[in-house]
Amino acid sequence: MKKTILIAMLAGFASLAANAGEYDISVDRVQIDTGDFVKEGIGYNGASPGPILRFKEGEEVTINVTNNLDEMTSIHWHGLILPYQQDGVPGISFPGIKPGETFTYNFPIVQAGTYWFHSHSGFQEPNGAYGAIVIEPEGREPFRYDREYVVQLTDKHPHSGDRIMRNLKMSADYYNRQQQTVGDFIEESGDKGFMATLMDRMMWGDMRMMKADIEDVQGFTALINGKGPEQNWTGLFEKGDRVRLRFINSSAMTYFDVRIPGLEMTVVQADGNNVQPVNVDEFRIGVAETYDVIVRIRDEQAYTIFAESMGRSGFARGTLAPAEGMVADVPEMRDAPLLTMADMAGHRDHGGMDHGSMDHGSMDHGSMDQGDMAGMDHGDMNRDDMAGMDHSGMNHGGDSALPEDPFYAKGSGLIPTASNGGKFLSYADLKAQKPLYEDREPTREIEMRLTGNMERYEWSINGVKYEDADPVVLQYGERVRFKFVNETMMTHPMHLHGMWSILDVGADKWNPIKHVISVAPATTVYMETEVDAPGEWAFHCHLSYHAASGMFRKIVVEGDPDSTVADGKQGGQQGGES
């Protein structure tokens, strides 16, 4: 017995030695040309986006990062499981990289899939400091493809991150050019009657909330792999190919609804972890999420990759084509959605619309634990309050039956539908291909209310901004159930560093393993985390200006494998797909 272990260890060392890669990255001032504007920004190895880093599972990587800026920088390896000192968050993992200095990251690659990297210093990431990571698995992948492309989305803005933050603080609607106008009022009056429209505006005005508050930062040019819609990033294929597209949303603030008209997409991976394949016509990718899809292309024609922002203030466009220069039609963007009263659960106690006290506890759909999807009725509690008072907001789409998705409040204006009437991916469709951890009862639950004040552009957790908050302390070996209660009217992509976020879709051991959990307005979403990584980690909303405004926490994991505090030490510490 001892012998085999020794041999295995030796073999491990040998493979490590044979499989150690060294990479150099420089952090540089670069020009970013979106086709609409040219802007000075920050990039890696002289370009934004930076290079695609291709690692192999089991490899020991050494990455030399040289800071050519005149300010501090850092690189965070988004989604990678690694020692906390290598995680790249200044002030938590390490002090940061000084101007002119080279910092050497060193960590083993213990997972496979699509990830990305970005600066965690100031607003360098929105300013262009991001790149893709592709990790080839040790074993065979459970799906076939003939070629692959990274499709990295971002929302490049002509203003610098600092300027955007300042403008939002001066005026939270600074960038919102989708507010309802007099013209909208007249049009809606024609449809629904003057009084109904007036009552609707009064109701929202009473709360001092805007239905059009979906994208805080508009005015960007959406890019695919650094190219604007006019510059048209193109990926080539040969007829009959199965093409794997690794979608990464590296935006500062923007969710995208992605489709390729004429092609069905098979989602095979989410946030780097394989999922049971789901065929979809369209999917929504939250900020910092990744989705890998496979498309099988039978015809020798060009296809447009069309990614509309969730608030429809911009779109990214690329092309899959048999030959360079071929293009397909670029669809028109659909109408911008509007929030409804169902998205306002957390705000109903403001502004004199007192319909009885808001009991967030009652939003807790316990049935979710049993995996009963039909019972996951997030918005239900609002119905009584809303009866008779919401004359038009509920059903802005008008006619047909409301779309449903258990991860949106019932009646939410944000529930996505596929443009061709087909299948739109829901979190509820995601099932792990191979569970990473043994399924077990969580040892405790931690509630995180996602809170904020849109008018002041302040964002917080449990009503407390990061600067006023104590760290969240976890014990090594616990399995913690996080309960996210979104009390704001914005959608928040919550990102836990260093440990996996097991999203509760009611599939028990098949619950998908992610690194970003998007929480729609007025919903409660649960995730569980096997606390298997000692050290100090960051946890935050991945919308850049929300994180910087205070929707951020330090997580401290006490204890280590040698001094396990709680029961149930897991075999899956290595993380990643097996």
> By the criterion CB under 8 A, which residues form the site for other proteins?
72, 89-92, 95-96, 120-122, 159, 162, 165-167, 169-171, 174, 177-183, 202, 205-208, 219, 350-352, 453, 455-456, 458, 465-468, 470-471, 538, 540, 545, 547-550, 552, 554
* Structure tokens given for 102: 């080279």
CB 43 within 8 A of CB 50: yes
* Structure tokens given for 509: 């051991």
- Rounded to a whole number of angstroms, the minimum distance from the CB of residue 85 to other proteins is 14
Sign for the CA dihedral angle at 101, 552, 539, 125 comes to negative
Which bin fits 310, alpha (ψ -120 to 50), beta or left (φ > 0)? alpha
Tell me how far apart the alpha carbons of residues 435 and 273 are, in angstroms, rounded to a whole number. 10
- Rounded to a whole number of angstroms, the minimum distance from the CB of residue 466 to other proteins is 6
- Rounded to a whole number of angstroms, the minimum distance from the CB of residue 327 to other proteins is 31
Question: Both ends of the chain: CA-CA distance in Å?
Answer: 24
> What does the radius of gyration of the chain's CA atoms come to, in whole angstroms?
23
- Rounded to a whole number of angstroms, the minimum distance from the CB of residue 295 to other proteins is 37
Per the DSSP assignment, residues forming a β-bridge with 97 are: 73
Per the DSSP assignment, residues forming a β-bridge with 236 are: 321
Element of type H or E holding 518: strand 516-519
Q: Which is nearer to other proteins, 105 or 545 (CB)?
A: 545
- Rounded to a whole number of angstroms, the minimum distance from the CB of residue 443 to other proteins is 25
Tell me which amino acid residue 516 is.
Answer: V
- Rounded to a whole number of angstroms, the minimum distance from the CB of residue 135 to other proteins is 27
Q: Which is nearer to other proteins, 167 or 573 (CB)?
A: 167
Q: Which is nearer to other proteins, 22 or 455 (CB)?
A: 455
Q: Which is nearer to other proteins, 286 or 550 (CB)?
A: 550
Which bin fits 253, alpha (ψ -120 to 50), beta or left (φ > 0)? alpha
Q: Which is nearer to other proteins, 182 or 401 (CB)?
A: 182
Q: Which 3 state secondary structure label does DSSP give 557? A: strand
Chain centre distance of CA 245: 17
Helix axes 182-192, 194-207, angle to 10 degrees: 130
Q: Which is nearer to other proteins, 74 or 304 (CB)?
A: 74
Q: Which is nearer to other proteins, 34 or 319 (CB)?
A: 34
- Rounded to a whole number of angstroms, the minimum distance from the CB of residue 184 to other proteins is 9
Q: Which is nearer to other proteins, 59 or 390 (CB)?
A: 390
Contacts (Cβ under 8 Å, ≥6 apart) of 415: 402, 403, 404, 405, 408
- Rounded to a whole number of angstroms, the minimum distance from the CB of residue 472 to other proteins is 12
Q: Which is nearer to other proteins, 471 or 568 (CB)?
A: 471
* Structure tokens given for 28: 């540089």
Q: Which 3 state secondary structure label does DSSP give 307? A: strand
Question: Is the bond into 534 cis (omega within 30 degrees of 0)?
Answer: no
CB 276 within 8 A of CB 506: no
- Rounded to a whole number of angstroms, the minimum distance from the CB of residue 455 to other proteins is 6
Tell me how far apart the alpha carbons of residues 111 and 109 are, in angstroms, rounded to a whole number. 6
